Amino acid sequence: MAPRCPTCGLVFLRVPGQWLGSWFLNICLAQTVVVLILLLGVGFTWPDPPMVLISVSAAVAALAVPFAFFPWSRTIWLAIDLAMRPLEFDDGVAPGFELQGDLDRLRGESGDDHGRAA
């Protein structure tokens, strides 16, 4: 994954340890897929489920799903992070992507150039 957005310049790694959330999403999805394979496999083939086939399928899914979902988990986690901690004006995003109207309003509300409300 690139360290910055090529369009706006957003640094993807905003704080150290940020990607632990994406790993958590990955593990949750992998466990959900494994449990679904086990439940559906046993449920549809009851009373004589082929446990070797179901177990091998679950093991393959447990190994493959995290690798297949990894790019999306990082993107989803970055969106969650941006929702929890919105961009600040000093986050390094290209000026064309800042909300110039909000910046002007903020400067107009403050009596000085320090950004504090009057």
Provide the residue ranges of all domains of the chain, joining segments of one domain with +.
Answer: 20-80
Which tokens belong to 118?
A: 């009057």
Reduce the DSSP state of residue 117 to 3 states and report it.
strand
% of the chain exceeding 70 in pLDDT: 86
110 backbone dihedrals φ, ψ, rounded to 5° = -90, 145
The angle at the Cα of 66, spanning 61 to 70, to the nearest 5 degrees, equals: 145
Tens of pLDDT along 6-53?
877 788 888 888 889 999 999 999 999 999 999 999 999 999 999 999
Q: Which residue has the tokens 């899914």?
A: 61
Tell whether the model's pLDDT for residue 88 goes beyond 60. yes
Whether the Cβ atoms of residue 14 and residue 85 lie closer than 8 Å to each other: yes
Mean pLDDT on 46-71: 96
Query: For the residues 56-83, what does the mean pLDDT come to?
Result: 93
Helix, strand, coil content of the chain in percent (nearest 5): 60, 5, 35
Better-scored residue on pLDDT, 84 or 94 = 84
Confidence of residue 113 (pLDDT cuts 50, 70, 90): low
Question: What are the b/e assignments for 29-47, b being 16+ CB within 10 Å?
Answer: bbeebbeebbeebeeeeee
Percent of the chain with pLDDT over 90: 47
With contact defined as beta carbons under 8 Å apart, do 103 and 89 qualify?
Answer: yes
